[in-house]
A and B are shown apart, each in its own frame.
Chain A
Amino acid sequence: KAGVTQTPRYLIKTRGQQVTLSCSPISGHRSVSWYQQTPGQGLQFLFEYFSETQRNKGNFPGRFSGRQFSNSRSEMNVSTLELGDSALYLCASSLVAGDYTDTQYFGPGTRLTVL
């Protein structure tokens, strides 16, 4: 079974631009979560989607948004990029949402650099 895929793997943008990242979950997985990883803040939860609905959102400004499609693929968008948005963005998929025993499997990440 194919793993979680994320595109693109690397992105370089300038301040003020916007960016869209894509995530395809493992086949059969319906829940997709997004995390931001930075050296200073570590791994922080962005949001979780299940059945095309955002179930939960982390403590991030409204510039960060996302959506999920009927095939469970998900995109996240960051508008008006700031230097501090430079990070590794990780997508994780799991079978269902809200089950603490359900393992989240991660993709390779998208490394975003904002200049």
Chain B
Amino acid sequence: AQKITQTQPGMFVQEKEAVTLDCTYDTSDPSYGLFWYKQPSSGEMIFLIYQGSYDQQNATEGRYSLNFQKARKSANLVISASQLGDSAMYFCAMREVNDYKLSFGAGTTVTVRA
């Protein structure tokens, strides 16, 4: 079964606007970590933000914030004030306490328009 689902294959956003990337996950482990990565066309996977399953508050890192809704098993990434350099593929990933690897979603391509 798919552990991470990203339903938006591609999105367009206007520069300086906010964009929300959807991510839902499936796990029966009570302990897990959720990660978002950015992959520009160069290929490198850049870590953006982390949310632990026991974290009470939503994680934030600069212009990135994670909207964590545990009961809905949702971990949406919000990018505020989009910049042209934000154009990339974004991956949601999960690491469970009883697993050893990152399980990735299919990714969402974001294109920022000037």
Q: Are A103 and B47 in contact (CB under 8 A)?
A: yes
Please report which residues of chain B, range 42-82, place their CB below 8 angstroms from some CB of chain A when the two chains form the complex.
Answer: 42-47, 50, 52
B102: interface (CB < 8 Å): yes
- Contacting residues, chain A, for B47 (C-beta < 8 A): 103-106
Chain A interface (Cβ within 8 Å of chain B)?
33, 35, 42-43, 45, 48, 55-56, 58, 88, 90, 92, 97-98, 100-101, 103-109, 111
Given contacts A56-B100, A88-B43, contact A100 B50 (CB under 8 A): no
Nearest opposing residue in chain A for B33, CB measure: A100
Minimum CB–CB distance for A54 against chain B, Å: 11
Interface size on B, residues (CB 8 A): 26
B13: interface (CB < 8 Å): no
B90: interface (CB < 8 Å): no
Q: Are A42 and B104 in contact (CB under 8 A)?
A: yes
B91: interface (CB < 8 Å): yes
Nearest opposing residue in chain A for B37, CB measure: A106
Contact of A42 among B33, B50, B107 (CB under 8 A): B107
- Contacting residues, chain A, for B35 (C-beta < 8 A): 103-104
